A = this chain, B = another copy of it.
Amino acid sequence: MEQNKIYLIVGLGLLGGKYAKELSERGFTVTAIERSEERLQFALEHGYISRGKSADFTDLIQEADHIVFGLYPTVFIEWVRQWGKYIQPGCVFTDVSGVKTGLVDTIQQLLPEGVEFIASHPMAGKETSGVENSDKVDFSTANFIITPTEKNTPQAIAWCRELAETLGFRHITMLTAAMHDHMIGYVSQLCHAIAAALMIAEDNTSLAEYTGDSFRDLTRIARLNDKMWAELFLWNKENLINQIDQFDMALQTIKKAMEDDDREKLERLFQLSTKRRALFDKKQ
């Protein structure tokens, strides 16, 4: 990537902060817009950014060759509505949002002539948040998904891929927004719904001393950034409700086999589970 380009990070959250850190370390000029003075200060002191502002930041927008939006979807849309007009022609930018349908189109329609939004999702979130924790994020084991629309140019897609390569992602791939949201409903949001349901189901505090690896593994992600996950769940509501229903049918199948004392059926279900999980290990 061209090192003389200026990267603007909007929102120094966990991922925005990590982009800033990685890009600065690789010699790019990185600026930031962030509401919290504390976070700006942290990013400046740690050399993640060279300049940052919480207000009067139109100059930072105008100077940016590329922008990375690390905002929640609704905040992202509001931001572009208000400040999008200051983005200069030639600017190509991306985001880190975990949902795409309804978001990417909306943003693309709001943009001035000559400005391009190529959406992407770095699957590297953790149970922590904020730029203060960005150094705990590991891109080298994470997937990076680019979700282009018909409006995107090959040049913008190539830039986004190059950005992911520069940041060291393990696996870079492309999906439509719809496929992305279906996939993410299953491999991420459904898992978080399940982990939360496990904690909500029973006042389990007295059982904590007895838990083994399996319970710990299943509920590690039950510490949820409530505002972010409420947003992601509602944004991907249709997919996620569908996934919950499908999951529930599978769980009811297991329950039914137990009620019927159908040992063979249970064994067949477990064999299917084992077979699929084994295949999945090979694909890793």
Q: Is the CB of B198 within 8 A of A230?
A: no
Q: Which of B186, B203, B233, B261 is within 8 Å of A234, CB to CB? A: B261
Majority secondary structure, A binding face: helix
A230 to B267 Cα, complex, angstroms? 6
Q: Is the CB of A230 within 8 A of B263?
A: yes
Task: Give how many copies assemble into the complex.
Answer: 2
> Of A23-31, A155-163, A247-255, which binds chain B?
A247-255
Write the nearest CB–CB distance from A64 to chain B, whole angstroms. 29
Q: Given known contacts A201-B247, A202-B246, A223-B277, what 18 new A-B pairs fall within 8 Å (CB)?
A: A123-B210, A143-B209, A143-B211, A184-B210, A191-B214, A193-B254, A193-B255, A195-B214, A200-B269, A205-B276, A219-B280, A222-B276, A223-B274, A225-B270, A226-B274, A229-B266, A234-B261, A240-B258
Residues on A lying within 8 angstroms of B by beta carbon are 123-125, 142-143, 145, 171, 173, 183-184, 186-188, 190-205, 207-227, 229-231, 233-234, 237, 240-241, 243-244, 246-251, 253-255, 258-259, 261, 263, 266-274, 276-280, 283-284
